Amino acid sequence: MRNSKVCHVLLAVLCMMLLGSVPVKAALPSSILYIKDHLYYHLGDEMNVIDVNLEWPEQVDGSLVVALKQYLAQYVFGISNSNFDEVYQLFKKRFGTPVRGQLATLPDDQKYCYVDCRVKQMGHVSNRFISFSLDYNCQPAKLSSQPADTKHILITYDLVRQRVLTMDELLRLDRMQGPEFVNRYGLYFNSSVDTDYLNQLKSLKLNNACLVDNRLLLEMTLGTFNGENTDFEMYIGKDVERLLNKEMVKSLKQIEPATILESLQVPTELDGEPIYANVEKSPSFPGGIDSLRQFVLSNITYPIDQQLIHSSGQVKVSFVLDKKGQIRNVSVIGMLSPVLDREAVRVIKLMPNWVPGEINGVPVNTQVIIPVTFFSR
């Protein structure tokens, strides 16, 4: 729904103060980096096509979440390292070198490989937890040297205990089985599971689970007496505590959660040149601030599920505007909800080139922060 009566968006460009030309040095309480790449790499005569769609945590509620970043890097990229730039470069090198320009000859279809990597934020409650869906899919053709692999997992990272929770640490698994579970939580089964199917239920297998704000997301497989299996997902919003591990419940109810303040090293260079927070001539959107507001209002979508729960607040999106006026290195530094954060980033990435900031009449890389405020009425 575009320009819904229940959605109002406010914009402001905050960070371009005329206080001199000082490279960026700042610590951010939270920062989720949004990366979307479509890459072509060749390894000898093999062609590798790589799609990357990541919502990568740099810092969450003052913590650098090192254990979380190591887990994500190991699962998605097969590299145990919390430094994203190093991990990403090592991962891409596995597939050879970037394709630049047109190829002299078309690659053999039997030597292609298609790779898809995804990290998607699912939920976040400040100082309690953050959760993600992780996917890695590598589909090599017959003569490709890349190993086939497909995997998926949901994870919940405990921000109090600073670790990725196992299924046992998150849930009371003894309460996730059989007719009692179906009778109590059957109304949460999605439309792919009808009543007749449930009446023939033989087995119930839990595949994945994570917390999503005040709900619990479960991915399960139902088996029936006639041998049919159905995969489905369900969001449970009632009696959630009954299904959670006692320590997890205690962690969620902690009155004063531990606060960890660690400094995030914000990049001070882009392509070998400084990034400035303060410039003599501020960057500008084509047509000015009114055109910027109109662009966002014309392109923003207020997701219906967020309207229904009256989700409102501010998303702060940070990016570097390079000296050509292109938007680079987009991240969310003020989180609202994964869905609205994602929507704000999507619209920012749709923007045309800006007029870049200047120092001494020369275009420079400039740090920009745009708050996007959603509220229902």
- 234-250: pLDDT as tens digits: 888 888 999 999 989 98
Q: What is the location of CATH 3.30.565.40 in the chain?
A: 33-155
CATH numeric code, 33-155: 3.30.565.40
pLDDT digits (tens, 9 = 90+) for 163-217: 999 999 999 998 887 677 777 776 566 555 555 655 666 677 899 999 998 899 9
CATH numeric code, 8-26+266-375: 3.30.1150
160 torsion bin: left (phi>0), alpha (psi -120 to 50), beta (else): alpha
pLDDT digits (tens, 9 = 90+) for 49-83: 999 999 999 999 999 999 999 999 999 999 999 99
**Strands 46-59, 112-125: pairing kind:** parallel
pLDDT value at position 12? 41
The percent of residues in the chain predicted with pLDDT above 90, rounded, is 56
pLDDT value at position 14? 35
51, 117, 67, 131: which is closest to 335 by C-alpha? 131
| Strand ranges, E, within the chain | 8-11, 31-43, 46-59, 97-98, 112-125, 129-140, 149-158, 163-164, 201-212, 215-224, 229-236, 269-270, 273-276, 313-321, 327-334, 358-359, 362-363, 365-375
pLDDT digits (tens, 9 = 90+) for 266-321: 788 898 999 998 999 999 999 999 999 899 989 988 776 655 455 678 899 999 99
Q: Which amino acid is at 315?
A: V
List the Cα angle 275/120/52 in 5-degree steps: 65
**How far apart (Å, rounded) are the C-alpha atoms in residues 10 and 314?**
9
Strand partners, 221: 205, 231
pLDDT value at position 27? 37
Q: What is the location of CATH 3.30.1150 in the chain?
A: 8-26+266-375
Mean per-residue pLDDT for 15-42?
A: 66
pTM for this model (two decimals): 0.86
Mean per-residue pLDDT for 146-169?
A: 95
pLDDT value at position 194? 56
